Structure 1
Amino acid sequence: MRSIGETARDSGLGVSALRFYDRSGVLVPDRVDPVSGYRWYGPEQLEEARLLARLRRAGMPLADIRLVLAGWSGEDTVLVRQLLRAHLRRLEAGLADARSEFSAVRALLAHREKTMTSIRTDAAARVDVPGAGLAAALDAVRFAASADPELPMLGGVLFDIEGDALRVVATDRYRLAVGHAVTAGHDGPRVQVIVPSPLADAMRALLADGDTSARLTVEDGRVALEAGDRQTAGRCLDHDFPDYRRLVRLPAGRRAVVDVPAFREALETGPVRERDGGGADLSVLAVTADGVVSVCGDGDGDGDGGDRVAVNREFLLDALAAGGGERVVLELGAPTAPLAVRRTDSEETFSLLMPVRLES
């Protein structure tokens, strides 16, 4: 017999994925310890687990996978072959449809690019900003910056200077964070530049003391930060950044103030779900009408009339750490709306986490 940890390691499925597939009746362990509840898998189930991992990577629905596994060890494999062919045809048809739609979108984009006017990124700006304020803003967003080489425009932190405000923004598509700092000395047009992540980290290190005033200078595609007698500088990324202001316009949801240490412990020790198809551990949250947030298990209800929202647990833990305080405000809307994590002392510093669809 193999333990659930050994089966996970040798099959490529996570432990939480194996638990999910057990609860779903897709791959039920041969034996479950009646006292500890620990799962044990038979030797032949390793092959089934590896097959399951391959089929999920290919995007086959769970309903079909159940039938494939049921017929895998039998003598008649006609049904298995039919299911594989049917899924392959669906994938091919979906790819053809996607190519057609993408071609139409590219044509629309080409037409739009001829008429659109980008926000000026070549304007010069020189502003003074409290070191502690800029440090806190960078701490609030750095975790959300992308490391995907296919999306270089997201591989940094957007510095958005407008009036007496400096907003710093980072996103990797699955999460978005906005920080805010008050500035002085800028009376020109709005200026936006993308600061590469390594340079943003160097700026944060320069502000380690936190008490000094800093001067931020943008000129000729370069950005520099001076704090006391120290300076760091470098070139900005030559890319456009998404219009984050459109992304943060959300309908109001239920709000709840949570104690960060207690909530973190509830997330780390509480139940997790595996999304359909495997991947990261998910935490399912619900907030009641009286503002109590709970981490839900499979058998839990939907809260007091509220919807449940599933999010990447690691991303949520990062957002809590970036909140920078003992308490944060969680805002939960519909299951398809992002989860907002807001600071209690500033409505303008927050992060958004995209929800994950659960297998129904």
Structure 2
Amino acid sequence: MESELHSIGELARASGLGVGTLRYYDGAQVLTPAWVDPQTGYRWYRPGQLADARLLARLRRVGLPLAGIRAVLGAAPGGGEARRVLDAHLRRLEDGLADARRELSLIHSMLDQREQPMTTTPAGIRLTVPAGGLAAALDAVRFAVGADPELPTLAGVLFEPDGPVLRLVATDRYRMALAEVPATGDVPARPVAGTLVPTALVDALRALLGTGAAEVALTLGGGTVRAEAGEHRIEGTVPDADFPDHRAVTRLAPEHRITLAAAELRAAVETGATRTLPSGPHGAECEVTVLTLTGDGRLAVAEESDPEGYRLAVNRDFLLDALDAGRPGQLLLELGGPIAPLAVRTPGLPGTFSVLMPIRLPESA
């Protein structure tokens, strides 16, 4: 019998698997020998098992878990089960790569902060900004202001002086919006930590901008914010809040950049299929739009019956809010992997854009 079989050493050399590894997979009931010598315990394998051993070696190299290896080697030929297992593993690898990219982006941001730390907003920094530009910036970010009473540090808009611009940032953890407006005056030489202007003051400031003044003088720092437009003035206190680092979220590495008309995307989202998934605050369910890419590279809303392919799921209402806050005309959408944020940009305004956090789809979706 032994002349018709491969010894465990021969199978190891031919497949690239170690002898110890073959013993392990025998014990795991994945690749069992055809015969075990009752006297010596030595394992012998059929010639046909060499192909399984070589396949097993490759499955190990791509990190397929033991249960997946067992399913692939035990699948009936032509049944499709082995390919389904491999496709699911590939999606997990892609998701893990996207997670790793996002973590590395956060690490880069942390290193930047260590090497070039932000200074706190000095008391009484005074800036002059165009009233129309500030109004447009507030309109672009107001929808993303947090309203969760358990997260008061998100209940407002961050005013962050950065050289010749004043950057506005708002987030509720599920989306983030940024906008920039030109600024003159006490322009800091380096970015400062910024001032969180509470929601009530933000809305009062937006009303002040409708009084017809061409410019607004802003005074930030020292625990207060003051805005003066012509003869009108508002002032209030600001919290000492630890606002999230927007650079960690907006340091994106998109895989796809799609330009399309805002009205076209809105119509597709409003009429397209949705799915109900738990993704909102405290696990609340919401309507989810799943974006996909067609064979010719166009963006579309995926239907349930669409074949498997690229999928990016986002909160439908949040996406519509982002479209409302943006300017009409052309949009630039930046898409990463299925668990990477979606950026909605207006061409020509690099500092003004929205970021939507993705929603993880179930395997069956």
TM-score bracket for the superposition, by shorter chain length: 0.5 to 0.7
Whether contact under 8 Å (1:338, 1:355) holds in the other structure is: yes
Measure how far apart 1:210 and its partner are. 6.5
Partner residue in 1 for 2:207: 205
Q: Secondary structure at the match of 2:210?
A: coil
The within-5 A match list for 1:10-89 is none
Measure how far apart 1:243 and its partner are. 1.2
Partner residue in 1 for 2:328: 325
- Which entry has the higher C-alpha Rg, 1 or 2? 2
Residue by residue over 1:115-168, the C-alpha shift from the partner in whole angstroms, topping out at 9 and shown as x without a partner, is: xx8741343310111111111111111111100111111111000012111000
In 2: Cα distance, 1:180 partner to 1:316 partner: 21
1:280 aligned to 2:297?
Answer: no
Question: Per the alignment, do residues 278 and 230 of structure 1 end up closer, same or farther by CA in structure 2, a change over 3 Å counting?
Answer: closer
1:161 aligned to 2:161?
Answer: yes
Partner residue in 2 for 1:245: 247
| Runs (5+) with no aligned partner, structure 2 | 1-116
In 2: Cα distance, 1:308 partner to 1:230 partner: 50
Question: Per the alignment, do residues 219 and 338 of structure 1 end up closer, same or farther by CA in structure 2, a change over 3 Å counting?
Answer: closer
1:359 aligned to 2:359?
Answer: no
Whether contact under 8 Å (2:213, 2:230) holds in the other structure is: no
The within-5 A match list for 1:214-233 is 214-233=216-235
Question: Per the alignment, do residues 118 and 262 of structure 1 end up closer, same or farther by CA in structure 2, a change over 3 Å counting?
Answer: closer
The within-5 A match list for 1:301-320 is 301-302=307-308, 307-320=310-323
Q: Secondary structure at the match of 2:337?
A: coil
Partner residue in 2 for 1:300: 306
Residue by residue over 1:35-86, the C-alpha shift from the partner in whole angstroms, topping out at 9 and shown as x without a partner, is: xxxxxxxxxxxxxxxxxxxxxxxxxxxxxxxxxxxxxxxxxxxxxxxxxxxx
Whether contact under 8 Å (2:161, 2:187) holds in the other structure is: no
In 2: Cα distance, 1:179 partner to 1:212 partner: 19
User: Which amino acid in the other structure matches residue 242 of structure 2?
Assistant: D
Question: Per the alignment, do residues 123 and 289 of structure 1 end up closer, same or farther by CA in structure 2, a change over 3 Å counting?
Answer: farther
1:194 pairs with 196, 200, 203, which one? 196
Q: Secondary structure at the match of 1:141?
A: helix
User: Which amino acid in the other structure matches residue 283 of structure 1?
Assistant: T
1:338 aligned to 2:344?
Answer: no
Q: Secondary structure at the match of 1:207?
A: helix
Residue by residue over 1:238-262, the C-alpha shift from the partner in whole angstroms, topping out at 9 and shown as x without a partner, is: 2111111121111122111222223
Question: Per the alignment, do residues 151 and 204 of structure 1 end up closer, same or farther by CA in structure 2, a change over 3 Å counting?
Answer: same
Q: Secondary structure at the match of 1:239?
A: coil
Question: Per the alignment, do residues 278 and 241 of structure 1 end up closer, same or farther by CA in structure 2, a change over 3 Å counting?
Answer: closer
Residue by residue over 1:94-135, the C-alpha shift from the partner in whole angstroms, topping out at 9 and shown as x without a partner, is: xxxxxxxxxxxxxxxxxxxxxxx8741343310111111111
Question: Per the alignment, do residues 170 and 289 of structure 1 end up closer, same or farther by CA in structure 2, a change over 3 Å counting?
Answer: farther
Residue by residue over 1:274-326, the C-alpha shift from the partner in whole angstroms, topping out at 9 and shown as x without a partner, is: 226871000000134755210111111356xxx21000000000000111222
In 1: Cα distance, 2:152 partner to 2:219 partner: 23
Q: Secondary structure at the match of 1:255?
A: strand
In 2: Cα distance, 1:137 partner to 1:315 partner: 18
User: Which amino acid in the other structure matches residue 169 of structure 2?
Assistant: V
Residue by residue over 1:316-356, the C-alpha shift from the partner in whole angstroms, topping out at 9 and shown as x without a partner, is: 00000111222221111100100110112211111110111
Residue by residue over 1:161-215, the C-alpha shift from the partner in whole angstroms, topping out at 9 and shown as x without a partner, is: 1211100000111001111111011243644100001111111111125661111
In 1: Cα distance, 2:293 partner to 2:209 partner: 37
Give the stretch that moved more between structures: 343-352 or 287-296: 287-296
Q: Secondary structure at the match of 2:321?
A: helix
Whether contact under 8 Å (2:331, 2:344) holds in the other structure is: yes
Partner residue in 1 for 2:110: none
Partner residue in 1 for 2:127: 127
In 2: Cα distance, 1:300 partner to 1:291 partner: 15
In 1: Cα distance, 2:208 partner to 2:260 partner: 32
In 1: Cα distance, 2:208 partner to 2:295 partner: 44
1:138 aligned to 2:138?
Answer: yes
| Runs (5+) with no aligned partner, structure 1 | 1-116
Question: Per the alignment, do residues 240 and 119 of structure 1 end up closer, same or farther by CA in structure 2, a change over 3 Å counting?
Answer: farther
Whether contact under 8 Å (2:263, 2:328) holds in the other structure is: no
In 1: Cα distance, 2:119 partner to 2:233 partner: 27
